[in-house]
Structure 1
Amino acid sequence: MSRYKKYDGGDPLAPPVDLAEALDAIGEDVMAGYSPERAMAEFLRRGGKDQAGLDDLARRVAERRQEITQRHNLDGTLQEVRELLDQAVLAERGQLARDITMDDGDRALREMQLDNLSPSTAAAVSELASYDWASSEARERYEQIKDLLGRELLDQRFDGMKQALEGATEQDRAAINEMLTDLNELLEKRRQGVDTDDDFRDFMGKHGDQFAGPSGNPQNLDELMDSLAQRAAAAQRMLNSMSPEQRQELMELSAQAFGSPELMQQLARMDDNLQALRPGEDWSGSEQFSGEEGLGLGDGTGALQDLAELDALADQLSQSYGGARMEDVDLDALARQLGDQAAVEAKTLQELERALRDSGYLKRGSDGDLRLSPKAMRQLGKALLRDVADRMSGRSGARESRSKGLAGEPTGSSRPWQFGDTEQWDVPRTLTNAMVRQGGERPMRLAIDDVEVVETEARTQAAVVLLVDTSFSMAMDGRWVPMKRTALALHQLISSRFRGDHLQLVTFGRHAQVMEIEELTALDARWAKGTNLHHGLLLANRFFRKHPNAQPVLLVVTDGEPTAHLESSGEVFFDYPPHPLTIAHAVSELDNTARLGAQVTFFRLGEDPGLARFIDSMARRVDGRMVSPELDDLGAAVVGSYLGSRATGSSYAQQFGGWGGRGFWVGG
């Protein structure tokens, strides 16, 4: 048998969550030094281009909370009682003035009682409890006060009772008193640990129709206690939020509810039971209300419940506690407070977090921390490579000359075009793809995804070393993230397009270190002083010697002259300004690089003239090049230089071998 219910998942035709934007943002933050866990939390906090984030939802929760407290005050019931009392007294005075049959002494006594009523509303109501009303209208207004107080007190504890008991009979009130008596007996059984499921079923069988309000029918005693305790605690916070004078008047008036103190006694007994059974509720809090719109006891309690719910939502949306997850956000509460659209936005964030965790882009390390997986690194690398391609295609001064021939031997197969390809197009396959995609539509238009190229085998291999400066100045001057972006883009290009090439990433600060791409992208900024180019070149030359049949390619990214070198003992020598011995060690090892036949390119960051002269002289010494890119163009410069050295004599060598566009100058 099929069952149906209202769909509550937002737009059923909405596309699945798009992880591309999230992964790009997370990758950027990881390279800036965030952990993947924190980077994901930051993206969920900020949101995306067309997706509200947690900060926006939290702001709207705070605005809703402020609206409640600044719009309302808590003396609505007292005001309503005062109005009914004034109406009763006015009607009684009118009756006394009109009744010519009344004894003058009796009239004078009654008028004196009315004239001497206490200015306190509660005291005046109490003083009139035994008054013999001459006016039927006045008596009706006074009875309305007792009825109102009873319904308001019940509405404080049982949402919807004020409306349900409007016009209630004595029989209805007796049923309420009986329900409260049975409820307290059931709660006291629970306190003693002797209640049973049958007790709850018997209670609901007898009184269940009185719990069919907005909160729905509880399925067990715990659900009933949770609902009652939350409401009762909110009622207590409302009392705490009143002024001492308001609180005193209300407590005195409560004794007049339904004309006797019995109701208040039963409710006090219930509150005592609930506080014992649910001590975790906030029974002592208070709020400041400053508005002009008065709230009755039931509505005021509802407002306090709303504030508690908003506070819980604010805590959930902050995600600032240990083990926080988007699944913690109560979507039903969010819909009640901010509307259905807010719940849909939060649900989308939940699905996004779940997709990020379940998609394989994040993996849990041996230490329990999240890390970017190889799959995520590839995705991020593709995005960075696309950015590099865009910058290279728009480079002013880049010549569009093409040379004939292939960069390798044809294999007889074709494959989709990728950035960096120099092979000829496979025209039949390309046109076939376009026709299939367009279904024979005329005129036929080519899209980039239609293009296939002739697959070739590379004629030569390259051994590529990217030396990246990780000294203090790189972090201090904002070059840390661009350096990482560059390394990841180059890694992605070589691993996806030039798989036969060998790439090694070497960082050099006070000492040098070989790193995997995952280590480099997660590397925190290093604040130790020292630029040990000598050690970096030692590691690069060792790598080149391991690949004697490959063309050595050395790419050096730095923003400072060498200030450290590795001594024969293995200790690091540091001095600033650069010591002549440090310079000599770096130059000597660079000469070894040249003897290995390496193609060398230096990428100089910064505008230091002394650094420019030093790098220029180093490049000239080994017949290499120096490029001084703008920071945003570093990735395009390094990738372009690699492609140029990788395809010497081909179109890429001509296109990227000697940039002269804005932001670049070439020496050597």
Structure 2
Amino acid sequence: MYYRYFEWDDRYADQQGKIPFDVLWDLFQQLLTISSGEVSQALRWLTELDKEYDITGQFEDGYSMGDFIDDLRDRGYIEMDDQSNSMVITRKTERSLRQKSLKEIFRHLNKGGTGSHKTNFSGKGLERQPEVRKWIQGDDLSQIDSVGTMLNMLNHSSIDNMELNEDDLQVYDTDHYTSQATVLLIDLSHSMILYGEDRITPAKKVAMALSELIMNNYAKDSLDIVAFGNEAWQITVEDLPYLKVGPYHTNTKQALELARHILQRKKYANKQIFMITDGKPSAMFENGRLYKNSFGLDRKIINKVLDEAVKCRRDKISITTFMIAQDPYLQSFVREMTEANKGRAYFASLDNLGGYIFEDYIENRRKHVK
């Protein structure tokens, strides 16, 4: 581990205190998420914004779009892909997109909404409580209350005979931290971009932010991500920026089934599924063929989804559905599925989707103690 320091140059500071690169970099990351990681498309949009709003014209030193692209290469954010002969983003950029999404979502959370990410139970943990108790075999000796222990010893000792007994030992209690396995389901059906509303970009941002939160703050937790349309497939954290909506129907049954199978292999006491969707289940596999029906709620498909929700409940897997649609008949289906699983449902807007998911995730970590 080492640091490289560069001389600060005041010429690169704009009125908000950001250097020109940082101003363009913030915009570029937003556009990258919308363009599903396509560098050329994001740069075209950024160039159009620059022409319309004269962004680079605000910089005193004449910093241009060409300078920005050069800096992106020099700083390791983009590179040339030999196979496609086009510019692509790097792992460094993927990580930056997750970090940006995390900051963006936490910035909009209500104060106090996320707490301190701990349970309401005492036990073996990381954060010391002010309360003390008698030492029992197996307690961490580093949590011994030395002052209280010495006072206990002095109460029964004399100047000539100082004797420490086991009953004198007392330790601080610590907050108990639990671990959790989560599968996040992301709907990639065509309805996620219908009616002139971009629903997939907020969903991707939430997934990137949640993965960054877990990897950095809850190392013992696990997060798996499943995308679903006509079928369901598992993806990695690195795939998130590149997700695209397809000409898909909504195979909710297979998505829940795959998530359940993933969680069955996890050695965790606490298991949950988060599902982000805006549409009704409209497809499933039947005898190896895709059965689909986009008109209304097909009872055959709905019943199979409800069966899967019941199987998850029997495996002690809770399902939390984040429904980003306001149609009453769809909300009725979500309530029916929630009742079958004994889970939870939120009818969230795109603006508060991240807040709902983060607060629910952290609340589950507090209360799920075995």
Q: TM-score range by the shorter chain?
A: 0.7 to 0.9
Q: 1:13 to 1:522 in 2, by over 3 A?
A: same
Q: Give distance in 2, aligned partners of 1:462 and 1:550.
A: 7
Give per-residue Cα distances to partners, 1:362-393, cap 9 Å, x unaligned: 24444333333222222222222222112212
Choose from 345, 361, 375 the match for 2:62.
345
CA RMSD for the aligned pairs? 3.4
The corresponding residue for 1:465 is 183
TM-aligned CA deviation for residue 509 of structure 1 = 1.4
Q: Indicate if the aligned counterparts of 1:599 and 1:645 stay in contact, CA closer than 8 A.
A: no
Match of 1:575?
293
The change in CA–CA distance for 1:490 and 1:572 in structure 2 (over 3 A counts) is same
The Cα of 1:609 is off from its aligned counterpart by 0.3
Mapped contact 1:466–1:505 kept (Cα < 8 A):
yes
Match for 1:14: what amino acid? Answer: R
Name the CA distance, whole Å, in 2 between partners of 1:26 and 1:459: 38
Match of 1:354 in 2: 70
Give the structure with the larger strand fraction. Answer: 2
Residue type of the alignment partner of 1:480: I
CA contact (8 A) 1:489 1:639 kept: no
Q: Structure 1: how far apart are the matches of 2:359 and 2:290?
A: 34
User: How do residues 148-163 of structure 1 correspond to structure 2 at under 5 angstroms?
Assistant: none
Q: Could you tell me how far 1:465 is from its partner in structure 2?
A: 0.7
Find the partner of 2:93 among 376, 379, 383: 376
Alpha carbons of 1:638 and 1:407: their partners in 2 closer, same or farther (altered >3 Å)? farther
Give 2:229's match in structure 1, choosing from 509, 524, 536.
Answer: 509
**Cα shift at 1:551:** 1.8
Deviation string 1:270-289 (CA, Å, 9 cap, x unpaired) is xxxxxxxxxxxxxxxxxxxx
CA distance in 1, matches of 2:42, 2:175: 40
Q: Quick one: which amino acid aligns to residue 515 of structure 1?
A: I
What TM-score comes out, normalization by structure 2 length? Answer: 0.72
Which residue, 86, 103, 107 being the options, matches 1:390?
107
Task: Structure 2 unaligned segments of length 5 or more: list them.
Answer: 1-7, 14-18, 129-173
Are positions 1:489 and 2:209 aligned together?
Answer: yes
Which residue number in structure 2 is paired with residue 13 of structure 1? 10
Question: Per the alignment, do residues 522 and 593 of structure 1 end up closer, same or farther by CA in structure 2, a change over 3 Å counting?
Answer: same
How far does the alpha carbon of each residue in 1:509-550 deviate from its partner, in whole angstroms, 9 at most, with x for none?
Answer: 12112122333322233233x110011011101110121335
Aligned to 1:31: 33
Higher Cα Rg, which structure: 1
For 1:555, what is the secondary structure of its paired residue? strand
Deviation, 1:459, is 4.4
Change (3 A) 1:400 1:461: closer
Query: SS where residue 272 of structure 2 aligns?
Result: strand
Report deviation, 1:47. Answer: 4.1
Which residue of the other structure, out of 520, 541, 546, is the alignment partner of 2:265?
A: 546
- SS of the aligned residue for 1:504 comes to strand
Q: Give TM-score scaled by structure 1 length.
A: 0.42
Aligned partners of 1:549 and 1:483: how far apart in 2?
26
Q: Contact between 1:51 and 1:345, CA under 8 Å: does it hold in 2?
A: no
Contact kept? 2:277, 2:323, Cα under 8 Å:
yes
Q: Distance in 2 between matches of 1:524 and 1:494?
A: 24
Matched, 1:40 2:43: yes
The structure-2 alpha-carbon separation of the partners of 1:640 and 1:369, relative to structure 1 and needing over 3 Å to count, comes to: farther
Asked whether the 8 Å contact 1:508–1:536 carries over to 2, the reply is yes
Cα distance change on mapping 1:463 and 1:610 into 2, 3 Å: same
1:261-276 pair list within 5 angstroms: none
Quote the offset at 1:15 in angstroms.
4.0
Q: Secondary structure at the match of 2:348?
A: coil
Cα 1:637–1:411 shift into 2, 3 Å: closer
Give the secondary-structure state (helix, strand or coil) at the position aligned to 1:647: helix
Summarize the Cα distance change of 1:638–1:606 in structure 2 as closer, same or farther, 3 Å threshold: same
Q: 1:399 to 1:642 in 2, by over 3 A?
A: closer
Q: CA deviation at 1:567?
A: 2.5
Shift of 1:408: 6.1
Give the match's secondary structure for 2:284: strand
Match of 2:322 among 597, 603, 608: 603
Q: Does structure 2 conserve the Cα–Cα contact (< 8 Å) formed by 1:601 and 1:624? A: yes
2:356 to 605, 622, 637: 637
**Does the 8 Å CA contact 1:505/1:514 hold for their aligned counterparts?**
yes
- What is the deviation of 1:18? 5.4
Verify the 8 A CA contact 1:407 1:647 in the aligned structure 2.
no
Query: Which residue matches 1:622?
Result: 341
Q: Residues 93-123 of structure 1: CA distance to partner in whole angstroms, max 9, x if unpaired?
A: xxxxxxxxxxxxxxxxxxxxxxxxxxxxxxx
Q: Matched residues in 2 for 1:391 and 1:547: separation?
A: 32
| Identity between Structure 1 and Structure 2 (%) | 23
Maintained 8 Å contact 2:34/2:201? yes
Matches of 1:532 and 1:648 in 2, distance apart? 31
Higher relative contact order (CA 8 A, sep 6+): 2
| Secondary structure in structure 1 of the residue aligned to 2:267 | coil
Are the counterparts in 2 of residues 461 and 551 from structure 1 also a CA contact under 8 Å?
A: yes
Superposed CA deviations along residues 373-416 of structure 1, whole A, max 9, x for unmatched, are 22222222222222211221259xx598998777962399xxxx
1:77-103: CA deviation from partner (whole Å, max 9, x where unpaired): xxxxxxxxxxxxxxxxxxxxxxxxxxx
Separation of aligned partners in 1, 2:78 and 2:186: 26
CA shift, 1:12, in A, is 5.5
Q: 1:634 to 1:367 in 2, by over 3 A?
A: same
Q: Is the 8 A contact 2:181 2:272 kept in 1?
A: yes
Match of 2:5 in 1: none
